[in-house]
Amino acid sequence: MLTLNDIRQDPVFLTLIDNSSAYLKARGYTDHGLRHVTYVSNTTAQILEQLGFDQRTVELGAIAGYLHDVGNLINRKHHSITGANIVYGELRRLGMDVHEICLITTAISNHEEEIGKAVSPITSALILADKSDAHRTRSNRVLTDPRPGIHDRVNLAITDSTLYVEPERHLITLEISFDQEVCQIMDFFEIYLSRMEMCKEASIVLDCRFRLLINELEFLGTLPGR
């Protein structure tokens, strides 16, 4: 069976990730290269593992996380659908089982907040992993840049970001430390409100509640009874 290690060693996928990242950097977006996709891959797998899913589901989640953004090499708009189509063909080239490809491509095609939906455990874990990757290390600019775009401003303001799962409490929490001298929390919500709402829906699919804590204050959460 195809593994994440097989995917990481395939030169085609590395080229796709590199070109996707270069395109988004030119458009003024934050890092979407190996740092980002590795984080999303690892975090997707960790969420599924901590919630008790079988090891093959965990592995497929890791693959989906690693490949989720390759569609950005074509265009940012609807990159999830473009990426799913690219990934389907490449995984067939490598001889992967079609059912497993379907699980991966469904997750990839539904991680984009404008058009996506948390329709499966892998999809939901991928959404949570992707949207939780907010941190100043993602910025393509530095604090001294006189005119950083809003994506860079917001990520430069995030000094720490942690997503943690508490299976016994059926709770998933994203905790953020935010430097309001860089920009205001309102700027965060200009970009991330729809993403956080998507995380809430994804958590429900995983039979969990979702909490967003910024500077120890709760900004978004679902009631215990959901």
Q: Which CATH architecture has domain 4-221?
A: Orthogonal Bundle (1.10)
Q: Is 96 left (phi over 0), alpha (psi -120 to 50) or beta?
A: beta
DSSP assignment letter at 114: T
Asked whether the predicted pLDDT for residue 192 surpasses 80, the reply is yes
Domain boundaries, the chain: 4-221
Q: Return the half-sphere exposure (C-beta side, CA atoms, 13 A cut-off) of residue 96.
A: 23
Length of the chain: 226
In 3D space, the residue among 105, 16, 109, 119 whose CA is nearest the CA of residue 63 turns out to be: 105
Question: What percent of the chain has a predicted confidence (pLDDT) above 90?
Answer: 76
Q: In whole numbers, what is the pLDDT of the chain averaged over residues?
A: 91
The region of weakest confidence among 10-24, 136-150, 187-201 is 136-150
